[in-house]
Amino acid sequence: MSKIPEYVIADVAEFVSFVLESDRGYARSEYPDKIQFDRVKAALTANNEVTEILVNGFFTALRTKKTGAVRGFLELGISPDCVEPSPLQTPALVAAVRVQDKDSVNLLLQFGASVEARDNHQINALTAACQLKNSDIIACLEMAGATHSRASNSLHSTSPRLFNRNHDSDSTANMSL
């Protein structure tokens, strides 16, 4: 793997900071620096180090309930099924449930998050919502196809993705919650 140019790392860091601070999603047409947006998106699909930086920013947005920033990362192409780079390997949907952020749960589901994705302890989003006794999120997950029989099936596994190569960010810019 070739070394990442410093200007690309700077672009990625600036993008993460901008999206987290502004707490809103940006399609390419709305992002202030379109060249920077294109470089960050290209780096996302070409380099694991850049992907890890962006995924860490994405999980920071999830943990701090910055739904607009979550949208920004998803529109860039971060997969709604990505997993937190930690020993537990928490899927994004499970992380959103654990902080009880219904808006981010809905957003992740709109972008196609799997209700069956599990962490290394075989906990999926519905199991986490049931543990927290959050009836609003439970209902949301059930409407998306989660079932209690799936929640108790500990042998199911999914293959996590870190980003969507074919995601068109402009097509989801006006998606409403």
Q: What is the pLDDT of residue 64?
A: 96
- DSSP label at 101? -
Q: Could you tell me the residue ranges of all domains in the chain?
A: 1-78, 80-161
Question: What's the pLDDT score for residue 165?
Answer: 41
- pLDDT at 122 exceeding the cut of 50: yes
Percent of the chain as helix, strand, coil, to the nearest 5: 55, 5, 40
pTM across the whole model: 0.78
CATH 3.30.70.3460 for the 80-161 domain, yes or no: no
41-83 confidence digits (pLDDT tens): 888 887 778 888 999 999 999 999 999 999 999 999 999 999 9
Lowest mean pLDDT among 71-85, 92-106, 124-138, 151-165: 151-165
